[in-house]
Amino acid sequence: MKQSLTRRGLLGALGGAVAATAGCQAPGSPAESSPGVQAANAQSSAAASTQPESAYTAVYEQVVDAVASVRVYADAGTGSQGSGFLVDDEHIVTNQHVVAGGSEFYVRFSDTGWRSVSVVGADVYSDLAVLRIDDPPSGVTPLSFVEEEPPVGTEVVAIGNPFGLSGSVTAGIISGVNRTLQGANNFSIADAVQTDAPVNPGNSGGPLVTLDGEVVGVINAGGGDNVAFAISAPLTQRVVPALVTSGDYDHSYMGVSLRSVSPLLAEANDLDRASGVYIDRVVEGGPSVGVLQGSTGSEIVSETSVPVGGDVVRRLDDTPTPTRQALASFLALSTSPGDTIDVLVERDGSERTVELTLGSRPEP
């Protein structure tokens, strides 16, 4: 989530943080200078020096120098803040919604001041954006992505800028994979990673990393006390290179409106099993016109109106599609506009394979 701010509000937030710090006892106060406190402090320091380094400390120290605070200002003087991270010597990945509407863009790393950056490209359909920095911090190693998606239960940390508190780290696990997030224009963001690592406003665009320091995903949103999401490494690795080279990214497009096959929909359409993806509508002028079939009517089942007559997609090429998530992930990670794919559908009680040439999603 990005955090909205004004220039005056930002100064107030920073002042509040200073005020809170000022409430602590200052070094050299009478209580801290007493012999008893000095002895206790010495014992505490000795104990700390003998404790093994935490795995969380190790990954934080490995990653934090490549993580940036991102600040965005609009023409009206208002703006927002988020997070980002270096992926090479001059490019920073963040969220599209962090930079949206901005006219001035700045980043700050752990050992630098604020530096002006420019937006190379942004993609609303994946909520990813790339910034270019002309003077990156020296000696910092850009972050790399995982080669394979870690399984559910893998420990991860989120590092970013929640509430403007740069370099903050929270820990959790991967709670789920292959999630589908709501995107722009009623499209979905496929293959998202779910985590229970706490995520707050300002974390948007920061990395979710394994304890080996490899990026699992780009933090996108928090949905509750223990539910947050990240754009997956595989999708990020497809989108970001295109944003760097051309400034945008074309997503594959079937031109259909989809539904999950629920028990009621399966009953109304005489399906043997309540799985697959139902074609409710074929978009006029889209690539599926004359290839796939949408609903032809509706029936009442258990006092509920249910569409009937549409195709049920069982497989795309060799990939089964028991859920909308599976279909969306295949399109997002394995296809490009212009590709022709085989679509196995169940229509009117029998299965058939049709060829579909994919288009590009319309401009947002």
89 catalytic per annotation:
no
Residue 102's nearest CA partner among 80, 123, 83 is 80
Residue 191's nearest CA partner among 220, 162, 163, 214 is 220
| C-beta separation of 287 from 356 below 8 A | yes
Q: Residue with structure tokens 């991860």?
A: 156
97 catalytic per annotation:
yes
**How far is 61 from 55, CA to CA, in rounded Å?**
10
Cα dist from 218 to 63, 109, 184, 253, whole Å:
14, 17, 17, 23
| CB neighbours of residue 289 within 10 Å | 13
In this structure, the chain runs to a length of 364
**How far is 360 from 364, CA to CA, in rounded Å?**
12
Amino acid symbol at 152:
V
Name the active-site residue from 69, 126, 175, 204. Answer: 204
DSSP structure class, residue 222 = E
**How far is 131 from 339, CA to CA, in rounded Å?**
30
**How far is 326 from 322, CA to CA, in rounded Å?**
7
Name the active-site residue from 127, 191, 196, 311. Answer: 127
What are the beta bridge partners of residue 256?
282
What one-character-per-residue DSSP string does 22-41 give? HTSPPTT-HHHHSHHHHHHH
| C-beta separation of 120 from 247 below 8 A | yes
Name the active-site residue from 91, 97, 188, 288. Answer: 97
Residue 202's nearest CA partner among 238, 159, 233 is 159
Nearest-10 crossing angle of helices 324-334, 233-246: 40
Q: Residue with structure tokens 């006092």?
A: 303
251 catalytic per annotation:
no
The residues assigned a catalytic role are 97, 127, 204
